[in-house]
């Protein structure tokens, strides 16, 4: 591969202000040329003495006082963790109960269908008339009662106990919470 290189025709190979001073004697330190760098041998490194590795001293500071706010915070976190565990346990129990109730509902629907079919088989007006004979008569107009359900529904709820005040309801709620926690661990 031939490349055209421009040959430097000047007797000096520097640039800048020194390039215009042909009387420069080269007393400044010059950079080594590429050819000189290839053949230069590295200078021997002086041997370093081998030092033994010493374990660093550990300084222990004195234990400080425990902040009461930190203790209260840890207790609050512990209470919330217990409440979370109990709520998950209650949720698991409720889901298990829901699955068993759905299974029971399905079984009851199947049984209802079977019993309804058996009832329809047994209910035959001609067979009943033959079994009873002439004693069975159709109801008269005065025996038929019609119920009018066009009025809106109303409901009245009677409470057996009086409503709790705010503080007593809070105390009852806390008692119920701790009662639930105690029941869970029994």
* Contact criterion met (CB below 8 Å) for 78 and 70: no
- What is the band of 170 on the pLDDT scale with cuts at 50, 70, 90? confident
Closest by CA to 12, choosing from 3, 2, 24, is 24
- What is the band of 81 on the pLDDT scale with cuts at 50, 70, 90? very high
pLDDT, average across residues 29-37? 60
More confident residue, 61 or 74: 74
More confident residue, 153 or 29: 153
Q: Which pLDDT score, from 0 to 100, does residue 10 have? A: 54
Element (H, E) at 113: helix 68-122
pLDDT, average across residues 105-134? 86
Helices 166-185 and 68-122 cross at an angle (nearest 10°) of 80
The C-alpha angle 20, 22, 24, rounded to 5 degrees, equals 105
Does residue 74 carry a pLDDT above 90?
yes
Does residue 128 carry a pLDDT above 70?
yes
pLDDT (tens digit per residue) in 148-161: 888 888 877 776 55
Buried b (16+ CB within 10 A) or exposed e, 137-159: eeeeeeeeeeeeeeeeeeeeeee
């Amino acid at each position: 591969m031939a490349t055209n290189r421009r040959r430097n025709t000047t007797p000096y190979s520097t640039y800048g202000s020194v390039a215009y001073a042909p009387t420069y004697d080269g007393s400044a330190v010059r950079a080594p040329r590429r050819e000189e760098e290839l053949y230069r041998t590295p200078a021997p490194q002086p041997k370093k003495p081998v030092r033994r590795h010493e374990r660093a001293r550990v300084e222990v500071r004195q234990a400080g006082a425990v902040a009461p706010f930190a203790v209260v915070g840890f207790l609050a976190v512990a209470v919330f963790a217990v409440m979370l565990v109990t709520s998950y346990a209650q949720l698991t129990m409720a889901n298990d109960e829901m699955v068993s109730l759905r299974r029971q509902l399905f079984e009851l629907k199947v049984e209802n269908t079977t019993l309804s079919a058996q009832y329809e088989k047994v209910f035959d007006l001609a067979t009943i008339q033959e079994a009873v004979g002439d004693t069975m008569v159709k109801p008269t107009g005065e025996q038929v009662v019609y119920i009018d359900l066009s009025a809106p529904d109303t409901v009245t709820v009677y409470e057996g106990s009086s409503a709790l005040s705010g503080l007593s309801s809070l105390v009852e709620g806390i008692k119920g919470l701790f009662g639930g926690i105690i029941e869970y661990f029994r």
